[in-house]
Structure 1
Amino acid sequence: MNVPLQHPFRKLPSATGVGYKPQHFQAIMDNPAPVEWLEIHAENYMGQGGRPLAQLRALASKFAFSVHGVGLSIGSETDLDVDHLDRLKTLCDWLQPAQFSEHLAWSTHDSHFLNDLLPLPYTKDTLTLVANHVDQVQNHLGRTMLLENPSSYLAFAESTFEEYDFLDQITKRTGCGLLLDVNNVFVSATNLNYDPRAYIDAFPIDSVKEIHLGGHDEDEDSDGAPLLIDSHGREIVDPVWALYDYTIAKTGPVPTLIEWDTDVPDWTVLADEAMRADTILTQQSQVAAQ
């Protein structure tokens, strides 16, 4: 993994991508339409060789890549794991992705990694903590990162910022960009009882460099109220598609990823989801050209 890959892709196209899964390798190589770029979870490719990296090498000759981290724990009160950062840098230096992103969340306690991306209170202290960690990541990797809005299941009484204002402040302090997960907006809005379109209206749209779409599961809380779980394990529901359409009308065409990480379907199912996103992107491109 020492020699950087040589490929022509320095930015993501304003088109549809999918989260890459090895079982889809041959289908993507043979007939990827409408998919024009791919994303991987960094932690799955921090080894030193073998079939996974060989597949990435082949795919990188045809597609732009985005690397999405799930293990840095940007919001942790403890220091970032420098060994993890080193492995991440090795991957990014080799693959040369067009973008790198992580979550506005924490997932570590002491030396233990938790199997969840947990929310943060939006306070001045947390703002300073997260901004310092974002600066550390960007300096270590030598590249600008994107920060993703979380899916939320509770609100912190001590928060003094709205989430979109908190994210805006992070971008202004660090120069990072934002990854807008539209499904996360819908999940959080349902769970915390606010208007998802009002959230999009207030979001710092100019900082959005990538959009995610995914499926969620429906449950109920202890009072019988709807509780949505960001699962990435099923098709995208119609209200999220409608919110995406509303969002793209504001942002214009933005690279858009279909996330499907559990109960992964056949390639044709994933390609159909990508085609639906591509149709919305194409329509907005035509509107913008008029």
Structure 2
Amino acid sequence: MTQSALNSPIVETPGFPDGPLPPRAGAGLKTAHIDAILADDYKIGFLEVHAENYMGDGGPVHRGLAAIRSQFPLSVHGVGLSIGSESGINPVHLDRLAKVVDRYEPAMVSEHLAWSSHDAGYFNDLLPVPYNSRTLERVVSHISQIQDRLKRRILLENPSTYVAFEETTMSETDFIGEIARQSGCGLLLDINNVFVSATNHGWKPLHYLRDFPLELVEEIHLAGHAEDIDDEGDLLLIDAHDRPVADAVWKLYEIIISQTSALPTLIEWDNDVPEWPVLRREAQLADAILDRLGPASLLGSRHAAE
């Protein structure tokens, strides 16, 4: 390109290329990478953006995303709907999300099983919810509201957690599965979140994946995590998104793909973001697993091995 995509004029278009996310690896889009992605001979499977970064009306970020969307499938990932909040869904925020979705026609829209707002306050974190019937009813109602407004299904992502609630009466896998069945949403399986939560709470990630409703999974996330120590001196993992995917997470990913067949797989890297070739290399590692294990998967079973 002779001119940066960020500085190119906005061209009105009657619509973007249609179609689902391909069963390939994708990456989280960073504005600093746009020109490199567009010029790269390796065409990544798809790009994913955080919806909240595109809720303004114009500017360089929209020029860049329009250039990307004209050539690549897109997934929109929300981080601010606060689906688990007792305060309800903010209609203004939901309208802004709908505007982004209408503007860029993404193949998928997803959000977190978490809350991040209370009354008029917003927190810079994705906070957990207790797993019980009261929370279930609230989350199902909120997802139904979101899907009605967007006029499409969304995917719900499993959380990374650091605490457990006394009010919890259901397993996380049963809770998430019931949300999907009652609301009609699909699921986004973040395998790094599974590994982080399993380590922090002292349970086995394969037991979690064995019980997870894999037949409802439509997208996978992979990311890196950081190690810390809690107040009692025990290992604590942080879902940091600031480094390559860990070997243990890659191994879990291989198990899942061997069961589910190839699924759209996102490499998340949101902090200490490297140059594009580093993210591309992570995506190529995922593509190699998808190519090797996807065709030989146990189609239809979708249950992780013990």
Name the TM-score, length of structure 1 as normaliser. Answer: 0.97
Q: Could you tell me which amino acid in structure 1 is paired with residue 88 of structure 2? A: D
Residues 1:170 and 2:185 aligned together: no
Q: What is the rounded CA distance, in whole Å, between the counterparts of 2:243 and 2:14 in structure 1?
A: 33
Measure how far apart 1:209 and its partner are.
0.4
Match of 2:49 among 30, 34, 40: 40
Measure how far apart 1:156 and its partner are.
1.1
Name the % identity: 51
Which ranges of structure 1 fall in alignment gaps of 5 or more residues? Answer: none
Q: What is the rounded CA distance, in whole Å, between the counterparts of 1:203 and 1:32 in structure 2?
A: 37
Measure how far apart 1:10 and its partner are.
2.2
Match of 2:256 among 232, 238, 247: 247
* Aligned partners of 1:164 and 1:202 also within 8 Å: yes
Match of 2:194 among 174, 185, 189: 185
Residues 1:124 and 2:133 aligned together: yes
Please give the secondary structure, in 2, of the residue aligned with 1:100.
Answer: strand
Q: What is the rounded CA distance, in whole Å, between the counterparts of 2:113 and 2:161 in structure 1?
A: 11
Q: What is the rounded CA distance, in whole Å, between the counterparts of 2:78 and 2:91 in structure 1?
A: 14
Q: What is the rounded CA distance, in whole Å, between the counterparts of 1:96 and 1:32 in structure 2?
A: 25
Match of 2:225 among 216, 225, 244: 216
Measure how far apart 1:7 and its partner are.
2.2
Measure how far apart 1:289 and its partner are.
10
Measure how far apart 1:5 and its partner are.
5.5
Compute the RMSD of aligned alpha carbons.
1.6
Q: Could you tell me which amino acid in structure 1 is paired with residue 204 of structure 2? A: D
Match of 2:84 among 75, 79, 84: 75
* Aligned partners of 1:18 and 1:274 also within 8 Å: yes
Q: Could you tell me which amino acid in structure 2 is paired with residue 119 of structure 1? A: P
Matches within 5 A, 1:48-197: 48-197=57-206
Measure how far apart 1:56 and its partner are.
1.2
Name the TM-score, length of structure 2 as normaliser. Answer: 0.92
Residues 1:8 and 2:23 aligned together: no
* Aligned partners of 2:254 and 2:289 also within 8 Å: yes
Match of 2:274 among 247, 251, 265: 265
Change (3 A) 1:121 1:202: same
Q: What is the rounded CA distance, in whole Å, between the counterparts of 1:281 and 1:176 in structure 2?
A: 24
Q: Could you tell me which amino acid in structure 2 is paired with residue 174 of structure 1? A: S
Change (3 A) 1:151 1:157: same
Q: What is the rounded CA distance, in whole Å, between the counterparts of 2:165 and 2:260 in structure 1?
A: 29
Residues 1:235 and 2:244 aligned together: yes
Please give the secondary structure, in 2, of the residue aligned with 1:115.
Answer: strand
Q: What is the rounded CA distance, in whole Å, between the counterparts of 1:161 and 1:70 in structure 2?
A: 24
Change (3 A) 1:34 1:60: closer
Q: Could you tell me which amino acid in structure 2 is paired with residue 285 of structure 1? A: G
